[in-house]
Amino acid sequence: MTASLQTTLDQAFHALHQARETFTPPLQAREIGRVSSVATGIAKVTGLPNVGYEELVKFPGGLYGIAFELTETDIGVVLLGNYWHLQAGDEVERTGRVMDVPVGDALIGRVINPLGEALDEKGALSVTQRLPIERPAAPIMQRAPVTVPLQTGIKVIDALVPIGRGQRELILGDRQTGKTTIAVDTILNQHDQNVLCVYCAIGQRASAVAKVIASLRKHGAMAYTTVIVTEGNDPPGLSYIAPYAATSIAEYFMQQGRDVLIVYDDLTNHARAYRELSLLLRRPPGREAFPGDIFYIHSRLLERATHLRPEHGGGSLTALPVIETEAQNMAAYIPTNLISITDGQIYLSPKLFELGVLPAVDVGRSVSRVGSKAQREDYRKVAGSLKLAYAQFEELENFARFGTRLDDDTRKVLTHGQRIRACLQQGEHQPVPVDAQISLLQALSDGKFDEVPLEKMPAAEQALYASAGFEPAT
């Protein structure tokens, strides 16, 4: 019995010895630093000498940040989430990767934040692929000319300031002049155009975002739209990365050969978030207190919008950035930056808005640098002289206000211009089909409405649609 027990013990110890000899502990190198200070939306970190620019670092509590400022002694990190639990002395770990976002068809119809977390009540996202939020723009040789129109359903834009698929068209104007309405109406008009849409709300009020999402759902547009949201009370780091994350999501679909429309609402808040982060990181301010590289953050974003050649999939990414002006000052720093980056602008006038001319597009200050090359030939035939006639009317209207005696030809120009203005007015969320627009513009160019009293113009327009077999706009 004793010998048997001894043998069993020997065997057990021998097995343990063999297991010990063959065991190799898994070693994993981790670089750990420490938080030295925390401020509004940023943290200073020491002890990570090998960290890369824009590398993702991990804080306690599942909080992430982006290495944004690299110095000899520490790094400045932009925090991407609720950082109130963070304090000096907390551990910081390198991840070895840059900030990325989930992409795929599962995002269509969803509302998410820039980190890829669902904000609606449809459960977690089931995606397998992720893309970096910062990616190089398509090389010149992979790009094709912009020739296919992107119909907005808004008469004044489709006729006078046409937008092409792959173009970047800036929407700018003062507060409460209808900038978001134009962007949302353009999304609503893509329901039968085979265009996917991405709406990026940057630092907006929660109530304003909820209103936009409710409009998209009411009109069935969420079936082809992804919404990326940061609210006004979110950390500035989230507002900063939001448009880049949204663009990577849109680029995924573009590279699948799809046509995509992306709306940035608005880049004023994006610039302010970047200014806040930069000033907290002690970067020197320049003109109007913005850092010198503010142009670069928007140019590298909007350069990613393009139309690809057929051998590269043939997809397109059309960008509609929104910017807010102050006191109609288009010559301010951020508006002039974006005007020089984009391929045209749609300017909304508060004066027209106050007069009830909706949408309040100032035709004289609005331009499309792609122009009629991205417009259907039917439009070019009926709307070719319309912009000039409208501009002449506006000049004469200002002159006529002085009570000057007018000859018959001038009265005819004024009468015709008033009918042009009346025809180009349009209600919110009432897109007009292409054929209906062309019928209206043809009748307008031929002077068919010149004898119609101004107060009866809406009824005459609907009568024209009905006689041509189009459903009236509701």
Catalytic residue among 369, 376, 380, 419: 369
Please write the tens of the pLDDT for every residue from 62-103: 999 999 999 999 999 999 999 999 999 999 999 999 999 999
pLDDT for residue 198: 98
Binding residue per annotation — 173? Answer: yes
Please write the tens of the pLDDT for every residue from 15-51: 888 887 787 777 777 889 999 999 999 999 999 999 9
Cα separations in angstroms, 139 against 102, 135, 165 = 24, 12, 17
Binding residue per annotation — 175? Answer: yes
Six-digit token string for 92: 């910081």
Binding residue per annotation — 373? Answer: no
Binding residue per annotation — 179? Answer: yes
Four-point Cα dihedral 339, 341, 344, 346, nearest 10: -50
Three-class DSSP category at 426: coil
Four-point Cα dihedral 191, 193, 197, 199, nearest 10: -60
How far is Cα 244 from Cα 100, in angstroms, rounded to an integer? 10
Position 142: which residue type?
Q
pLDDT for residue 1: 55
Binding residue per annotation — 205? Answer: no
CB 468 within 8 Å of CB 439: yes
- Say if residue 474's pLDDT is above 50: no
pLDDT for residue 403: 63
Binding residue per annotation — 174? Answer: yes
Binding residue per annotation — 378? Answer: no
Q: Which of 263, 275, 278, 267 lies closest to 325, judged by CA? A: 267
Please write the tens of the pLDDT for every residue from 123-174: 888 888 999 999 999 999 999 999 999 999 999 999 999 999 999 999 999 9
Q: Which of 310, 252, 24 lies closest to 128, judged by CA? A: 252
Q: For residue 90, count CB atoms less than 10 angstroms from its CB and return exposed for 0-12, middle for 13-18, buried for 19 or more.
A: middle
Listed as own residue / partner, the contacts of 275-281 with beta carbons closer than 8 Å and 24 or more positions apart are 276/40, 276/41, 276/236, 277/41, 277/42, 277/68, 277/78, 277/236, 277/237, 277/240, 280/39, 280/40, 280/41, 280/42, 281/42, 281/68, 281/69, 281/76
Read off the pTM.
0.91
Average pLDDT value for residue range 221-227: 97
Q: Which of 201, 205, 274, 203 lies closest to 42, judged by CA? A: 274
CB 143 within 8 Å of CB 317: no
**Is 369 considered catalytic here?**
yes
Place of tokens 């107060």: 455
Binding residue per annotation — 176? Answer: yes
DSSP string, 390-423: HHHHHHHHHHHTT-----HHHHHHHHHHHHHHHH
